[in-house]
Chain A
Amino acid sequence: MTTTHPKNPTTHPKNPTTNPSSVIRTRFAVRFLHAMKKLNKKTPPSRRYHTIRAAACASMASAVGPRRAWSRAILRKIRARTLHDHLIHKSRNHRLITRRKSAGLRGNPRDQEEVGFRQEDDLRGLVPGGEGMGFCRLLSETAHYIKCLRAQVQVMTNILDHYSSS
């Protein structure tokens, strides 16, 4: 399923089959539904929520592919988790995050117009892969991440509605 999409969605005509958000939704929906189909047969009920949640995240990252830093970060994390010990990876991440937080507290956001360290660090913690990128990159990655999160919510809501009504 190869489609080209322009970098600037605002100037692109809203053709329902090729506009970028529709492409993302379709790619995500296909992956997510496949993951849910696999899950139905062999997952114990207690693990269902966790598996679905992880599948949503992985399907989104896979739908976007490696062309965004945030999706690359998620895909790396997933690959690392399957290869290495889960606990080691978790403790490494935690050390990174606590180090960044203490650096942020030293900042002094006096000017209202200037960006405070705290909001920026909060954002870095929320956007996957946000820890290691420059500020401009962080902002552009955040915008794309938000668009994809919205697409994810739309598709999952649609799936839920279809399941409920059938």
Chain B
Amino acid sequence: MSSRRSRSKNSSPGSSRISEDRINELISQLHQLIPEMHNSRSDKRSAGKVLQETCNYIRSLEREVDDLSERLSELLATTDANHAALLRSLLMQ
């Protein structure tokens, strides 16, 4: 699998020109997704900073899912909800 070919950190600058543009495009896409960076001046941000914020954002989303799972498990223990009604109401949105 040629997974390492696209990362041309050590090769000549000419050969990595096209993939650099593509990478910048993808990085700015990520930049748009992250809520903190979206508000600040969205100019030429360093790629490393975007990746760092991306990692932090993914971790916080995962933590949120953990927390929601925790609360759902507690809730299931106490209530006996009507699943069909829930499904219908959610599908309406």
Contact = CB atoms under 8 A, between A and B. Distances in A.
Q: Is the interface of A mostly helix, strand, loop or mixed?
A: helix
A115 B48 CA distance: 5
Nearest to B2: A134
Interface residues of A, number: 57
A36 B57 contact: no
Interface string B81-93: 1110011011101
A53 B69 CA distance: 6
B33 A146 contact: yes
A127 B72 CA distance: 25
Given A113-B46, A136-B6, A163-B81, A123 B68 contact: no
Contacts of A157: 68
B68 to A, nearest CB: 4
Contacts of A140: 26, 29
Nearest to B89: A162
A166 B76 contact: no
A153 interface: yes
B75 A139 contact: no
Interface string A129-166: 00011111101101101110110110111111011101
Contacts of B62: 126, 149
Interface in A91-129: 107, 109, 112-116, 119-120, 122-123, 126-127
A48 interface: yes
A139 B26 contact: yes
B72 A40 contact: no
Contacts of A25: 93
Contact of A159 (B7, B30, B48, B86): B86
17 contacts: A30-B91, A33-B90, A48-B76, A56-B69, A113-B47, A126-B62, A134-B7, A136-B22, A143-B29, A146-B30, A146-B34, A146-B57, A146-B61, A150-B61, A152-B65, A156-B69, A163-B76
Interface of B: 1-7, 9, 19, 22-23, 26-27, 29-30, 33-34, 46-48, 51-52, 54-55, 57-59, 61-62, 64-66, 68-73, 75-77, 79, 81-83, 86-87, 89-91, 93
Interface of A: 16, 22, 25-26, 29-30, 33, 36-37, 39-40, 45, 48-49, 52-53, 56, 107, 109, 112-116, 119-120, 122-123, 126-127, 132-137, 139-140, 142-143, 145-147, 149-150, 152-153, 155-160, 162-164, 166
